[in-house]
Amino acid sequence: MTSPVAIRPYRPEDRDDLYDICVRTGHEGGDARALYADQDLLPDIFAGPYAHLEADLAFVVDDGTRVVGYIVGTADTVAFVRRFRDAWLPVVADRHPRPKGVPVTADEEMARLLHWPERMVVPELSEYPAHLHIDLLPEYQRAGFGRKLMARLLAALAARGAGAVHLGMVTANTPARAFYDRLGFHEIPVVDPGPLTYLGRRTDVPVC
């Protein structure tokens, strides 16, 4: 009998699946494995630190054999940045050294982001203190699991006292933008957003 797909809290043994999903969805929602020499680089920036530092705000989609999707986040971005620098960078910095000059390769550009967690503190987002990342393998998208993950995290953030949450998405990822729009996110104007669009919503408003 096939086990039902379930949303559940993250467990340490889910780490390899979490990393695999992150890199398989890391290029505008598509597979980024061909873009990076080190397959742990993207997850060490966008998934691992959340599972390590904020495990109580990490939830996964379990298909009965493995994790096929996840959502991670923090209730306090400013505090998270401090913990990232003090408690996460020492764990991964030796593997991903800071580039000595201007980044040339995709790996060097991501390593630059890894060593610059303060980039997450954007003045225009101060009224949205929490932030999140969500990823699902393509074959599990458009089946309601993303909505369920989002509802689970928003409830957890609200319980932690975070009244609003934001995320940064690559502007070119139009399918992701449509997903967030359906869940009630709105665009937050940022003076210099780079390649990202910032979206936000309240945490106490139910996901429709």
Q: How many domains does the chain have?
A: 1
Q: What confidence category does residue 203 fall into, taking pLDDT thresholds of 50, 70 and 90?
A: very high
Residue 207 lies in a domain: no
| Residue pair 67/17 in contact by the 8 Å Cβ criterion | yes
Residue 99 inside a domain? The answer is: yes
78-132 pLDDT tens trace: 999 999 999 999 999 999 999 999 999 999 999 999 999 999 999 999 999 999 9
Q: What is the CATH number of the domain that holds 167?
A: 3.40.630.30
For residue 178, tell me if it sits in a domain. yes
- Residue 114 lies inside a defined structural domain of this protein: yes
Query: Does 208 fall in a domain?
Result: no
Q: Could you list the residue range(s) of the whole structural domain that residue 117 is in?
A: 6-202
Work out the average pLDDT over 65-82: 98
- Model pLDDT, residue 2: 57
pTM (two decimals)? 0.95
At 136, is the secondary structure helix, strand, or coil? strand
pLDDT digits (tens, 9 = 90+) for 156-178: 999 999 999 999 999 999 999 99
Q: Is residue 16 part of a domain?
A: yes
Q: Return d(Cα 200, Cα 174) in angstroms, integer.
A: 16
Taking every pair of Cα atoms in the chain, the longest distance, rounded to a whole number of angstroms, is 55
CA torsion through residues 80, 83, 87, 93, sign: positive
